[in-house]
Structure 1
Amino acid sequence: MTEVAIRKVAVGDVVANRRRGGEIRVVLGPQTAGAKTGFLGVLTLGAGEFVSEHYHPYSEEFLYVTKGSLVVRAAGEPITIECGEGVLVPKHMPHRVENPGTETAEAVFHLCPLAPRPELGHVDTEDLPNPDHAQLSVQERS
């Protein structure tokens, strides 16, 4: 029997990716925890911020709001998700996440299964708000 290590990762130890908008932090994934089948992270959107429209050709996305409320535009249709509610975005469905409110909103997201390579996991269908933002690994910023 092979032993598998359990890895604990704190959200504060993960650098935010801001390329698509807001703060996206993959807390448990291949790079942070050695995950093989998917990843889980935290999304923080300030008032008026958004994550640009994209889709996942290999993964479903689960999004659960933990603070405030968000609007998910799935295939152009707005779906309001309040704190304590979640939504499942099927693979191949274009979606955009917005915070139209006046306070910061937070959500937990999970995508699975993984794409064969990280660069194949997202297909952007809208201009990125921060295309030059480079995400540094925890090791690179230390």
Structure 2
Amino acid sequence: MSGLVKISMGDVTPSIRLGGAIRPLLTPASVGAGSGFLGTMTLEPGEFVAEHYHPYSDEFLFVSQGSVAVRVDGQELVLDSGDALMVPRFGSHRYENRGEATALIVFQIAPLAPSPEQGHVEVERPPHPAAVPPAVGK
């Protein structure tokens, strides 16, 4: 892929399978990324992203708006707007918006797993198991 490619949140169909609205923005499929991908998660009050882990990747989070309770391997932190956290590979993690405002999280996952199917392992049943996630792979 050559040239600069602009991706807007509004241009990406969100995945709701794990909970909230997850939008993979800069990915192998959208911009030819080879080392990781960047996206956003929007969690309305009461929404959560089901517990899962990444066997090949670290996940970097930045809370852009609102607050979110993050549980990693049983340890919980509340991240507010302006806070960041790294979830290490194999760190089983879950996100929940217990506040009264929408939470917007920017995340990066790196390095990439060998295939999108190997990218995460579910620990908790997702709230919308029949929903099909958008493509993030090659």
- Spell out the pairing of 1:1-142 with structure 2 (5 A cutoff): 4-135=2-133
Looking at CA atoms only, which structure, 1 or 2, has the larger radius of gyration?
1
Report the TM-score when normalising by structure 1. Answer: 0.91
Inter-CA distance 107–136: structure 2 relative to 1 (3 Å threshold): closer
Which structure 1 segments of 5+ residues have no match? 138-142
Cα deviation for residue 52 of structure 1 reads 0.3
**Which whole-Å CA distance do the structure 2 matches of 1:25 and 1:96 have between them?**
17
Structure 2 CA distance for aligned equivalents of residues 95 and 28 of structure 1: 22
Q: Secondary structure at the match of 1:27?
A: strand
- Letter of the 1:27 partner, please give it: L
Counterpart CA distance in 2 for 1:101 and 1:136 is: 27
AA of the residue aligned to 1:61: E
Tell me, in whole angstroms, the C-alpha distance in 1 between the residues paired with 2:10 and 2:128.
21
- Give 1:6 shift: 2.1
Cα separation, 2, equivalents of 1:136 and 1:25: 8
Q: Percent identity?
A: 47
Name the CA distance, whole Å, in 2 between partners of 1:76 and 1:128.
18
Q: Which moved more, 1:110-119 or 1:7-16?
A: 7-16
Partners of 1:90 and 1:58 lie apart in 2 by 9
Greater shift, 4-13 or 69-78, is seen at: 4-13
Question: How far has the Cα of 1:76 moved from its partner?
Answer: 1.1
CA root-mean-square deviation: 1.3
1:135/1:93 Cα in 2 relative to 1: closer, same or farther (>3 Å)? Answer: closer
Q: Deviations over 1:44-100 (max 9, x none)?
A: 000010000000000000000000001110001111101001000000010001101
Distance between the aligned counterparts of 2:134 and 2:54, measured in 1? 23
Number of residue pairs matched by the alignment: 135
Flag structure 2 segments of 5+ consecutive residues without an equivalent.
none
